[in-house]
Amino acid sequence: MSSRVEILNDGGYRSDGRKQYELRDITIDLTPRGSADGSATITHGLTEVLVEVFGPREAKVRSQTMHDRALINVEVSLLPFSASERRKRSRGDKRVLELAAAIKSTFEPVVQTSIYPRSEIDIFVHVLQQDGGLLQAGINATTLALITAGIPMIDFVCAVTGGVYSTSPLLDLTTLEENDTPNVTVAIMPRTKKVTLVSMETRLHVDRFGDVFKLACEAGAVLHQEMKVAVESRTRKLVGAMETGPSIAIPGAERGDRDVYMEDNMNDDF
């Protein structure tokens, strides 16, 4: 069945004007929000996700407490107005549960949970607007929210969605492209060169998978630089506020010592 909209024209341009391997514009906002220990808002094109992190803190349900590490909880909410279909999804919705499970499994090997035994880390993912790449945006925003919360991780986690139209690989798919092409979401750790997630909801021919996977890993390294710049900028502001004195107060500055630790330990490979 052919697409009603041209995904890739003869000139090599996609429906939104991008070329095959071109990523959408990305914006990152690390402004503290409410009582959250860490938060981040990220946009990939028209997809916008806000993540809030609380903890590590005492576990609410003692029966779930693990004596040797922290428990990671992930809850996803898709706002009714985030999609054109205006469909309200409950917490028990299959799509919502799948997103939460994917994000949780992505970060369990990355967060150094053994530092915080008998505690829990709660991650709340709020989808404000969606136009493809929902899982990638959720993972990237979670990475930044965990960093702003001062929670140690072994590396950044950077995710990108890739697909294939005919025989042409595409990166950072919109909803239109996701609906009409086989696709895969890949999450990498750029410093360690390891992959922490490969998620496919459609069939992708084995002969095409290698090309898409390689491109997604390369794009993840590009996103890492954007995310790293945002974290370093926030850290400099916090350090500047502490050096200036109490007359200038930035919300979250009391956690700056841990952010400074992260900056000091970020080498050129991180």
Q: Tell me the per-residue pLDDT of 164-222, one tens digit each, with 9 for 90 and over.
A: 998 899 999 999 999 999 999 999 999 999 999 999 988 888 889 999 999 999 999 99
* CA gap 269, 227 in Å, rounded: 14
* CA gap 13, 217 in Å, rounded: 22
* CA gap 138, 102 in Å, rounded: 10
Q: What is the pLDDT of residues 58-69, one digit of tens each?
A: 988 877 789 999
Q: What is the predicted pLDDT for the residue at 263?
A: 42
Note the pTM of the prediction, 2 decimals: 0.86
Q: What is the predicted pLDDT for the residue at 79?
A: 86
Q: How many helices, marked H, and strands, marked E, lie in the chain? A: 5, 9
* CA gap 201, 216 in Å, rounded: 16
* CA gap 60, 26 in Å, rounded: 36
Of residues 254, 194, 261, 197, the one with CA closest to residue 231: 261
Q: What is the predicted pLDDT for the residue at 261?
A: 36
Mean pLDDT of 99-111: 97
Q: Which domains does the chain have, with CATH numbers?
A: 26-264 (3.30.230.70)
